[in-house]
Structure 1
């Protein structure tokens, strides 16, 4: 049987595209293994899928001076040795990386052992971990056409982002049951990312009196960010995080307000959900979400509200405008040539897996 190692972790965005590939890879005859961090969220997410999981040491990569850079560098080196030992034992035909800090030791180990490494970059510009890992890769898969001009490598392929197939099988009725809504009004799903967003959470809660006059609100607020004072608010439901239930929540939702992480916005596109994007500002990020949002706004797929302009009034007005023009956004998404990347990514994996078998 062919063997493949998947890697990636740190945030849900570095794990869920790997999860989306599992069924297809198994149908293609691959025995699947996963290398992640010892304590990251990927351990639980992958473990729930019955995939054999190996944890290694890893350190955070920083663009600034910090004493922790020294200790984390030691962890990265340790992780390389651990990854080499694991990869030798498994002896895969190919390794697929979704990025994140844990993927760096695996990329180095793949190069040492001469195992083909394929990297997927979700954002328009590569993050720091992928920048370090790309020189060790045989190929890079990209979600956005713009990425092709940023990655100076021979084998760069526009594949789109792998989307979990279960997201297409949600039930609106089950969504209503999860939320306990009794009024079948337009429903707005608000997502602050897997870690939550302090600013989006705060502004949304300020805007609730106005929004709840017309909409049901579902709020994915992040771990330990539930406001207990609002637990019994009619037509407002809070979740820290959603796993399999997310499909039903998507089915129920008429539109989405979200950060502009690449994996999330490709889910909105695949599901044809009108969306308002509030990308992380450059003060809090490297600006990747701003570029992602601008690309989708240019294609009329998304409406964008810069974080610097986010307040109670602007949020309400933008949600009203999005709902009023929802059909226009759905039509633009239907015409888009950006699609689910599962088949395209597996095609690239097969290509380099076969080369390694020769």
Structure 2
């Protein structure tokens, strides 16, 4: 079967990685699948899509939530242009189904798909839906959820729990038997709201030197790499520091414990691998959705969560020391893996095909 699949979304890797994983699953099952992405003109989107090897286009679109009056006006004025650009691309590509993963770019694309009578599938990664998915859910045909707790925000007749697709190399790592001979702490500062983590974690772990034998791998984001590298060197702690790691599977392979924000895609990857985590949600994330994401994994026994506002180096250091004592990490890892949905991409493919079949 030759499926013509159009995917849209972007603004963060958390949006794009599940879309790319779904596209690859389509192509694995149906090698004749033709795929196109419509994203934003942001560098993050264009680089991620270029590296994926899929054909991609960008339309005019700007964010609305939390913007200044001038930025909001610019975004609203651009909507008709983005809609016409999306309409042109859809008419040329003629997709069988549109799969939207969130972000402001999806609005014009989904509206154009609705105008042309193309089936629409939304994917919501977070426990609290973003603005785009909330509004677009009214015209979508199916809504796929990564976390069942998000179901209350949507029409129950349209929703289905699929989980959050993760990258193939992460799935391959999950299938291997992991051994952690060394205690290696992976710190995922990321790019958004990372600075507080990048400062706090070296301060917290400095106090553990001599009490716990460990190493550190620290992803800082672009701005803080030099400062963080100097912090670890001053503490005389063995740390590998980089702004970003391209091969996350290899980084995960080495780690015993992750200290991270609580983005939905990162959490889905940690669950698939069975990686215990200390989560420090980004406090200004929209609708505090990172805290709610984290609470799902804490309730399942795979993670600990600390809100940034009440956290200091002493509390964090004590938590790490406690986890490295006894079998707690192993137990948390096993519980984390029970929360995983490794076949999420396959589930989404099936939902898309159900709609495509209804059109044929």
Same fold, judged at TM 0.5 (above): yes
Identify if the C-alpha distance between structure 1 residues 299 and 138 changes in structure 2 by more than 3 Å, giving closer, same or farther: same
Aligned to 1:221: 220
RMSD (CA atoms):
2.1
Distance 2:337 2:297 in 1: 13
The residue matched to 2:186 in structure 1 has which SS?
strand
1:275-330 C-alpha deviation (Å, 9 max, x unpaired): 1111122x554110111111111111211111112211112111222333112212
C-alpha change, 1:307 and 1:229, in structure 2 (3 Å) is closer
228-237 or 78-87, which deviates more:
228-237
Question: How much does 1:131 deviate?
Answer: 1.4
Specify which of 247, 254, 258 is matched with residue 252 of structure 1: 254
- In the alignment, does 2:48 pair up with 1:49? no
Question: Aligned partners of 2:340 and 2:40: how far apart in 1?
Answer: 35
Greater displacement, 28-37 / 193-202: 193-202
Deviations 1:93-144 (A, max 9, x none): 0010111111111111111111111010011121112112212211000011
Indicate the residue corresponding to 1:109 in structure 2. Answer: 112
Find the residue that maps to 1:32 and give its secondary structure.
Answer: strand
State the Cα distance separating 1:246 from its structure 2 match: 0.8
Deviations 1:200-229 (A, max 9, x none): 011113234224542111111112321257
Q: Within 1, Cα distance between the matches of 2:102 and 2:84?
A: 19
**Shift in alpha-carbon separation, 1:58–1:186, aligned structure 2, 3 A:** same
Instruction: Name the residue aligned to 1:175.
Output: none
Equivalent residue for 1:276? 278
Q: Structure 2 CA distance, aligned partners of 1:229 and 1:266?
A: 27
Residue in 2 that maps onto 1:197? 194
Query: Where does the alignment leave 5 or more consecutive residues of structure 1 unmatched?
Result: 172-183
SS in 1 for 2:352: helix
Residue 7 (structure 2) pairs with residue 3 (structure 1): no
Structure 1 residue aligned with 2:204: 207
Distance 2:48 2:39 in 1: 11
Are 1:187 and 2:184 counterparts?
yes
Contact 1:141 1:159 in 2 (8 A): yes
The 3-state SS of whatever aligns with 2:199 is helix
Do the aligned residues in 2 keep the contact of 1:212 with 1:236 (CA within 8 Å)? no
In the aligned structure 2, how far is the partner of 1:40 from the partner of 1:195? 15
Question: 1:303 touches 1:322 (CA, 8 Å); kept in 2?
Answer: no
Q: 2:100 aligns with which of 97, 109, 112?
A: 97
- The worse-fitting range, judged by mean Cα deviation, of 188-197 and 133-142 is 188-197
Match of 2:311 in 1: 310
Which deviates more, 331-340 or 78-87?
331-340
> For this pair of structures, how many residues does the alignment match?
344
In structure 2, what is the Cα distance between the partners aligned to 1:249 and 1:229?
Answer: 18
How far apart, CA to CA, are the structure 1 residues paired with 2:209 and 2:169? 30
* CA 1:81–1:219: 2 relative to 1, 3 Å: same
User: In the alignment, which residue of structure 2 is the partner of 1:176?
Assistant: none
Inter-CA distance 322–11: structure 2 relative to 1 (3 Å threshold)? same
Tell me, yes or no, if the aligned pair for 1:11 and 1:194 is still in contact at 8 Å.
no
- Contact 1:36 1:102 (8 Å CA) reproduced: yes
Match of 1:159 among 153, 156, 162: 162
SS at match of 2:287: coil
Aligned equivalents of 2:260, 2:228: Cα separation in 1:
23
Q: Matched residue of 2:250: which SS?
A: helix
TM-score, reference length from structure 1: 0.90
Contact kept in structure 2, 1:194 and 1:222, CA below 8 Å:
yes
Match of residue 262 from structure 1: 264
- Cα distance between partner residues in 2 of 1:197 and 1:212: 24
Give SS of 2:72's match: helix
Could you list the runs of 5+ residues in structure 2 that have no partner in the other structure? Answer: 175-180
The answer on whether the counterparts of 1:61 and 1:129 sit within 8 Å (CA) in structure 2 is no
Separation in structure 2 between the aligned mates of residue 117 and residue 20 of structure 1, nearest angstrom: 18
Indicate if the aligned counterparts of 2:86 and 2:108 stay in contact, CA closer than 8 A: yes
| Worse overlay, 122-131 or 245-254 | 122-131
